[in-house]
Amino acid sequence: MANTLLIHCPDAPGLVYKITGVLFKHGLNILRNGEFVERHDNHFFMRTEFAGTFEAEALQQELRAVLPPTAVLRLSDNRPKRIVLLATREYHCLGELLVRHAFGELNAEILAVVSNHEVLGTLTQQFGIPFHHLPHTDRTREAHEAEVLAVLAGYQPDFVVLAKYMRILSSDFVAAYPNRLINIHHSFLPAFVGASPYAQAYERGVKIIGATAHFVNEQLDQGPIIAQSVIPIDHTRSAQDMAQAGRDVEKIVLARSLQLVFNEHVFVHRNKTIIFD
Amino acid sequence: MANTLLIHCPDAPGLVYKITGVLFKHGLNILRNGEFVERHDNHFFMRTEFAGTFEAEALQQELRAVLPPTAVLRLSDNRPKRIVLLATREYHCLGELLVRHAFGELNAEILAVVSNHEVLGTLTQQFGIPFHHLPHTDRTREAHEAEVLAVLAGYQPDFVVLAKYMRILSSDFVAAYPNRLINIHHSFLPAFVGASPYAQAYERGVKIIGATAHFVNEQLDQGPIIAQSVIPIDHTRSAQDMAQAGRDVEKIVLARSLQLVFNEHVFVHRNKTIIFD
Amino acid sequence: MANTLLIHCPDAPGLVYKITGVLFKHGLNILRNGEFVERHDNHFFMRTEFAGTFEAEALQQELRAVLPPTAVLRLSDNRPKRIVLLATREYHCLGELLVRHAFGELNAEILAVVSNHEVLGTLTQQFGIPFHHLPHTDRTREAHEAEVLAVLAGYQPDFVVLAKYMRILSSDFVAAYPNRLINIHHSFLPAFVGASPYAQAYERGVKIIGATAHFVNEQLDQGPIIAQSVIPIDHTRSAQDMAQAGRDVEKIVLARSLQLVFNEHVFVHRNKTIIFD
Amino acid sequence: MANTLLIHCPDAPGLVYKITGVLFKHGLNILRNGEFVERHDNHFFMRTEFAGTFEAEALQQELRAVLPPTAVLRLSDNRPKRIVLLATREYHCLGELLVRHAFGELNAEILAVVSNHEVLGTLTQQFGIPFHHLPHTDRTREAHEAEVLAVLAGYQPDFVVLAKYMRILSSDFVAAYPNRLINIHHSFLPAFVGASPYAQAYERGVKIIGATAHFVNEQLDQGPIIAQSVIPIDHTRSAQDMAQAGRDVEKIVLARSLQLVFNEHVFVHRNKTIIFD
C-alpha cells in the first residue's frame, strides 16, 4: 500500500529538490508526484505517492527541517476513512454510497446513517449499517443539532457526508467538523444557491443543469468546491423532470468527490480546493 | 427550399389535427414537425417545416380560422437574415462569424460590423464587410448609443449580434430591437452575472466554466437563454487562462445560437426559449 | 396515467393529420407528440402520449384504416415491464438497477437475477429478489444457455437485461428475445468491439472512453444502439483505472437506456433506434 | 519567457531529486513541474517550466550526467514553431487557424498553405499567407507528393498540419516528418477509420460523434492520439448533418492539439502521447 505525503507552504526556491531529497535519502520510491504553485499568492502545493518502509516521526522531522516554518504537512497511510452519512428522504446518493461501500470501493467505512426521516431506514439496514432516525419535529434546531452531534461524536468519524441532507446546518455544527463536512448541492454553484435549485433553474430557463460537491463552511453553499458536473436539458423539462435527471449527476459527483478526498488528492486553501488527480 | 411555420397559442383540443389539416388541404408536404405544450401555463407551441407552393396570405388566413384568437403565427421562407455585428476588442467571436459568413454557413448576411474600438477593423474589412468605428470616449453613453442606433438604422437589420460587445446597453437601446438583440455572455448564467465573470469564477474556485448566448432584455444578463455550453477547468487555471480557454466555448455557443435563431428554430415565451432542434 | 401510441410506416401525405384526427374524434387529449421521417428510406415514425378513455380494439382499427397496410402500431398503457437481469461478477450495474427498482424508479418489475457466478447473490437477495446461480462450468455453452433460457421462460419477461453479463450469447439465445435483450458494452461502440475494451483503449492511447447500451442481435456488439456516453481520460490511466472510471458511465447509460425503452420512447428500425425523448 | 525542459527515460531512483538538483544549483526557478511514470514499461517522463538565465549547453551536459544514458532530453525556449498547413476544400479548420494566427494565438508562424484545390486560396491570401495550389490531377500520387514535399522543403517547417487534407499520405511522405505531421480525423478514433466516417457513423446509428487529432504514422489513422472530443447526436441527423455539426468539434480539437504540441506539453512514446497539461 502506497503512502501519500501532502505539503503546502509559501513558495521558496528548491522545494521540490529538498523534499524529494529527503525521500531519496530514506530510500523511498516516488510512484507519482504533483506540484503546483498558486501564482496569485505564491503558495506551493505538493502531493507525493511513495512506497517503502520508514519511521513516520523521523521522516516528518527531516521534512520540516527543509520546509518553511508555516508549512502544513500531512502524511497518510491511506487506510479507509471513518465516515457517517446524513440523509433526509432521497435515496439516490445514499444508495450509491451503500452499494459502493458494500463492494469495498469507497476507501471508507460507513459507520452509520443518520436521518431526520424514517424512509431510508430499510435500505440502510439491509446493508447492515446502523440507522439513526432523529426527527427534527417538535424541537428547536439547536436541540436537533445537539442530538445529531451527540450521535456523530459516538462514532468519531473522520468525515461527515451530507448525502442529500436537506437541513441547513448552524455555524456551530459546521465548526465541529472543519473541512470534514462534505455536501452535495443540486445545482451548478454558484448558480441557484439555497432551496429548490431545480425550480430556480426551470424558472430561469437554463439549458444545462448540474451538481456541486463541496466542503461545508459557515456560509450557505459557499464552501470550497470539490467537484462539479452538468447535463444538458431543454424546454421540455419541468422542475420535477430536472430533479429526476439531476439525481444521476448528483450521486456520481458526490461519489467522485469522496474518492478524491478519501484518497488524499485534495488540499483546501482559502476557499478553494487544489486537487491532484 | 423548405418553409417554416411557427405557431404558439393557449392549448386547445385538436390543434395539431386542425393545423395539419390546413396544410394537408393545401397539398403541402410536412418534412418535419414538432409540438410542445408547456404544462405550467398550458401553452401550445408547434413548428413545422414543409415543402410545396402556396399563397401565403390565404394560408395564414385559413390557419388563423382554426386557431385561438391570441395565437401568434410566423411563416418564414428561410431566406438569410440581415444582421449587424457589434464588437469591442476581442477577435474570436467576430472571426468565427466572418469566416462562416464567407463560406455561406450562417444563413445570414452580415451587413456591417460596428465597434467602439479600431482593433477589429482590419479583420472585418479583409472579408469585405463595412466597419464602423464609433468610439465611446468623449461623449455620454446616450450620445454614443444614439450614434450606434443611427448606423444600425441605416442597415435595417433583422438581428443585431453582440459578438463580445463589452458595453452595457440602455433600456432604450434594447427596446429598439425586442427579441432581436443576441448576446454572448462569458459565463454559465445565472452564475457570474455582470463584469469579469472569469475573475469571479477564479475567485469562487469553480471546476467548470461556460458561456451563454441569450436574447437581451432590459435587465443585465437576464434575457431568454438560447444556448449554453461548458468546459471543465481546474485549480491550475488563472482567471486569464480561463478567459483564453473560454473563448472556444463562447464562439461556438454564439454560432450555434445564431444557427438556431436564423433557421427559425426558436420561440421566445415569457423569459424563456422553446427550441425545436 | 398517460397512454403511448407508436406508429411507423412508409411515409405518405397527411399521416399526422389523419392519425391526430382519429385521436381527436375519440376525444383523446394529446399531451406530447413527436414525428420523424427518415429521408434515407422515406419512413415515417410517430410517438404520441395522450390521455382519455378509449376502447383499445376500436381505436387501433380506426387507426389502421388511415394507415398504410404495412404500418406497425404499438399502443401501450405504460404499466411496468417485466424484466430479468443477467449478470456475472461486477456489481455496479446490478446495484444501480436494484436500488432504482427498490424506490420504484425503473418502470419495471425485476422478477429475478440470473448469474453464472455466486458473488452477486447477497446483494440481490438483500433486495428481496430471487437469485439463480447457474454456473457455466462443466457443461457446454449450449447446455448452459438452455438452463438460462429455461429459467427465463419461467418468468415470461418482457425484456432481459444483460447487466455486465460477460458471456457471448448464441444466435439461438438472441432469437428467443428479438429486440428484447438489452446489453451494456463497456466501450464507445463501434470502437473496441469484443473482449477487454479497456485494455484495447489503453493500448490505443485514446483520450476518451465510453459505454454503449444496445439491443442484442446475432452479431457481437453490432445491435441497434440505444444510448452512449463518454468520459475524458488521460495517459495516467491504466486499463484497470479505465475500467474503474468506466463503471459510472456504464451504469448510468444502461439505466438511461432502460428508462427510454421501458417508457416506450424507442423504435427499432433496421439496425438503428429512433428515440423520441 | 519561460523555458521548458522535457525528459523521458527508463525510471530510476531519485530522478526528480537529481534533475531538480541541477536546476536548483543553476539558480533556475521552477514554475511548474509534472512527472509521470508509465508502470507498464517503467518509463519516466518529466516536464518542467522554469525561469532564469542559463547556458544551454552546460545545463544539458549536467542533466545528462545524472540521467540514464538512453534518456531523451528536449530544452525549448518556446519561440513560435514554423508550420505549413495542408488543406483540400473544407474551410473550417483552415479558417480557425488563420484567424488565431492573425491574432498571435497559435504560438506558431504559418509560413504557407498548400492545397490540392483552389477554393481556399482567397481565404488564405486575405490573411497575407502564401497559398500553393498543387492539383493532384493528371499525375501520379508519387509525383504529386514530390511536388508537395518540394514546397514544404522550401519552408523548413517544424510541423506540417493537415487541416482537412483529404489525401492519404505515402509512407515516404510520413517518414519525412516523423512526429511532425499532425492530422485531424473526423471521427472518434479508432471508430470509423478511413474514408467517410460520418457516413459510417450514420450507418451504424451512433449517438455520439467526435474528432481526433493525432500524429501521422505509416498506418492510416493509427498514429498517436493528441486530443479527442465528441458531441451528442440523434436519429434525426443525416450523414451530411453530422458532417456539419462535426466541423465545430474538428476545428476546436485540432486547435487544442496544436496548442499542446507547440507549447511543448506533449511527449510521444511508442504509439501514445503523454501530455502534461
DSSP 8-state class, residue C206: -
Shortest distance between the Cα of D240 and any Cα of chain B, in A, equals 14
How would you label D56-83 residue by residue, b for 16+ Cβ within 10 Å and e otherwise?
eeebbebbeeebeeebebebeeeeebeb
| pLDDT at residue D1 tops 70 | no
* Mutate: best of C47, C185, C193, C207, partner D, most D CBs <10 A: C207
Measured in whole angstroms, how far is the alpha carbon of residue B62 from the centre of its chain? Answer: 30
- Which portions of chain C are predicted below pLDDT 50? none
C225·D206 Cβ contact <8 A: yes
The pLDDT of residue D56 is 94
Shortest distance between the Cα of B236 and any Cα of chain D, in A, equals 9
Query: Which among C23, C32, C35 has CB closest to B33?
Result: C35
The pLDDT of residue A194 is 85
The pLDDT of residue C119 is 98
Element (H, E) at C260: helix C239-262
Measured in degrees and rounded to the nearest 5, phi and psi for residue D168 equal -80, 130
The pLDDT of residue C32 is 87
C208·D228 Cβ contact <8 A: yes
Residue with cell 520546509: A67
Tell me which chain C residues have a C-beta less than 8 angstroms from the C-beta of D190. Answer: 191-192, 204, 206
Report chain D's mean pLDDT, rounded to a whole number. Answer: 95
Query: Which among B189, B207, B238 has CB closest to A225?
Result: B207
Angle between helices D239-262 and D92-102 (to 10 degrees): 30
* Mutate: best of C35, C62, C63, C231, partner B, most B CBs <10 A: C35
The pLDDT of residue C220 is 86
- Which portions of chain B are predicted below pLDDT 50? none
* Interatomic CA distance for residues D170 and C226, integer angstroms: 39
Q: Which residues contact A53 (CB under 8 A, 6 or more apart)?
A: none
pLDDT tens per residue, range C77-134: 999 999 999 999 999 999 999 999 999 999 999 999 999 999 999 999 999 999 999 9
| pLDDT at residue D9 tops 80 | yes
Query: Which among A96, A99, A256 has CB closest to C91?
Result: A99
C16·B16 Cβ contact <8 A: yes
Query: Which among D39, D228, D234 has CB closest to C275?
Result: D234
Number of cross-chain residue pairs from A and C with Cβ atoms under 8 Å apart:
34
Q: What is the dihedral of CA B33, B39, B41, B44, to 10 degrees?
A: 10
The pLDDT of residue B112 is 98
D205·C273 Cβ contact <8 A: yes
Shortest distance between the Cα of C125 and any Cα of chain A, in A, equals 10
pLDDT tens per residue, range D39-88: 889 999 999 999 999 999 999 999 999 999 999 999 999 999 999 999 99
pLDDT tens per residue, range D177-186: 999 999 999 9
* Interatomic CA distance for residues C180 and C268, integer angstroms: 11
- A221 is known as an active-site residue: yes
Q: Which ipTM was obtained for this model?
A: 0.94
Query: Which among A17, A24, A27 has CB closest to D24?
Result: A17
SS3 (DSSP) at D232: strand
pLDDT tens per residue, range A104-144: 999 999 999 999 999 999 999 999 999 999 999 999 999 99
**Topology adopted by domain B81-275:** Rossmann fold (3.40.50)
* Mutate: best of D96, D129, D240, D253, partner B, most B CBs <10 A: D96
Residue D176: pLDDT band by 50, 70, 90 thresholds?
A: very high
SS3 (DSSP) at A190: coil
Tell me which chain A residues have a C-beta less than 8 angstroms from the C-beta of C99. Answer: 91-92, 95-96, 99, 123
Tell me which chain D residues have a C-beta less than 8 angstroms from the C-beta of C43. Answer: none
Query: Which among B205, B229, B274 has CB closest to A235?
Result: B274
* Interatomic CA distance for residues A2 and A78, integer angstroms: 7
Tell me which chain A residues have a C-beta less than 8 angstroms from the C-beta of D32. Answer: 35-37
Q: How far are the Cα atoms of A174, A193, B188 from residue A219, in angstroms, in the given order?
A: 10, 11, 22
* Interatomic CA distance for residues B125 and B222, integer angstroms: 33
- Neighbouring chains of C at 3+ CB pairs within 8 Å? A, B, D
Element (H, E) at D61: helix D56-66
* Interatomic CA distance for residues A158 and C192, integer angstroms: 41
D17·A14 Cβ contact <8 A: no
| pLDDT at residue A220 tops 90 | no
Number of cross-chain residue pairs from C and D with Cβ atoms under 8 Å apart:
77
* Catalytic positions of D, written as ranges: 221
SS3 (DSSP) at C239: helix
The pLDDT of residue B153 is 98
Angle between helices C92-102 and A92-102 (to 10 degrees): 140
Interface of C with B (CB under 8 A): 13-14, 16-17, 20-21, 23-24, 27, 29-37, 232
CATH 3.40.50.170 location in chain B:
81-275
* Interatomic CA distance for residues A123 and A93, integer angstroms: 12
* Mode of pairing for the β-strands spanning C108-115 and C81-87: parallel
The pLDDT of residue B31 is 86
Element (H, E) at C262: helix C239-262
D235·C273 Cβ contact <8 A: yes
Q: Of A11, A221, A234, A241, which residue is the catalytic one?
A: A221
The pLDDT of residue A1 is 61
Residue range A210-219: mean pLDDT, rounded: 95
Shortest distance between the Cα of A70 and any Cα of chain C, in A, equals 32
Tell me which chain C residues have a C-beta less than 8 angstroms from the C-beta of D210. Answer: 208
Interface of A with D (CB under 8 A): 13-14, 16-17, 20-21, 23-24, 27, 29-37, 232
* Interatomic CA distance for residues C18 and B275, integer angstroms: 26
Q: Which residues contact B220 (CB under 8 A, 6 or more apart)?
A: B168, B193, B194
Tell me which chain C residues have a C-beta less than 8 angstroms from the C-beta of D205. Answer: 224-225, 271-273
Q: Which residues contact B233 (CB under 8 A, 6 or more apart)?
A: B201, B206, B207, B208, B209, B241, B242, B245
* Mutate: best of A41, A207, A235, partner B, most B CBs <10 A: A207
**Topology adopted by domain A3-76:** Alpha-Beta Plaits (3.30.70)
Q: Of C221, C234, C248, C277, which residue is the catalytic one?
A: C221
Q: Closest chain D residue to B236 measured between Cα atoms?
A: D277
Measured in degrees and rounded to the nearest 5, phi and psi for residue C119 equal -60, -25
Are A208 and B191 spatial neighbours (Cβ–Cβ below 8 Å)? no
D188·C188 Cβ contact <8 A: yes
